[in-house]
Amino acid sequence: MSKYLLNKFLYTIDRSPELVERYRSDPQGTVAWWETEQANRILNCHNCESSTWLAFTGPEREALAAHDYVTLFELGAHPFLTLTLFIALFERDYEEPLAFQREYATRLSHWTLPYPDIAT
């Protein structure tokens, strides 16, 4: 399990307007590209210096490719990162203010404390 890498995906997509749109329109392709090209980039290092060991597990890859924020919550992705990115992806499809955020809460309503551990 790689909570860190899930978070790194959410973090790097969220900070780029272009990648937000790409992930919205082509989630599977974006996840595949990102895992191949970006997952091992050390963000604050020169591009020639990368890690060699980072990869998603099957369920992590599937959850990201399905825009499945409920499973991301259950896998221990950082809830702030998931929420922020998914608001950017889908809030625009809802007419009422905060309607997407409320639906998001409802879809997680089977959860009581303790929530999944988010420590990385």
The least CB distance from residue 87 to other proteins, in Å, is 6
d(CA 4, CA 20): 19
- Contact between 33 and other proteins per CB under 8 A: no
59: left (phi over 0), alpha (psi -120 to 50) or beta: alpha
- Residues 3 and 118: beta-carbon distance below 8 Å: yes
Query: Between residues 31 and 83, which has the closer beta carbon with respect to other proteins?
Result: 83
Task: Using alpha carbons, select from 54, 52, 4, 56 the residue that is nearest to residue 31.
Answer: 56
Task: Using alpha carbons, select from 57, 67, 55, 60 the residue that is nearest to residue 27.
Answer: 67
Ranges within 89-108 binding other proteins (CB under 8 A)? 98, 101-102, 104-106, 108
Cis status of the peptide bond prior to 116, with omega within 30 of 0: no
The least CB distance from residue 26 to other proteins, in Å, is 20
From 25, 26, 29, 42, residue interacting with other proteins (rule: CB under 8 A) = 42
The least CB distance from residue 47 to other proteins, in Å, is 15
**Rule CB under 8 A: which residues touch other proteins?**
4, 7-8, 11, 14-15, 17, 42-44, 73, 78-84, 87-88, 98, 101-102, 104-106, 108-111, 113-115, 118-120
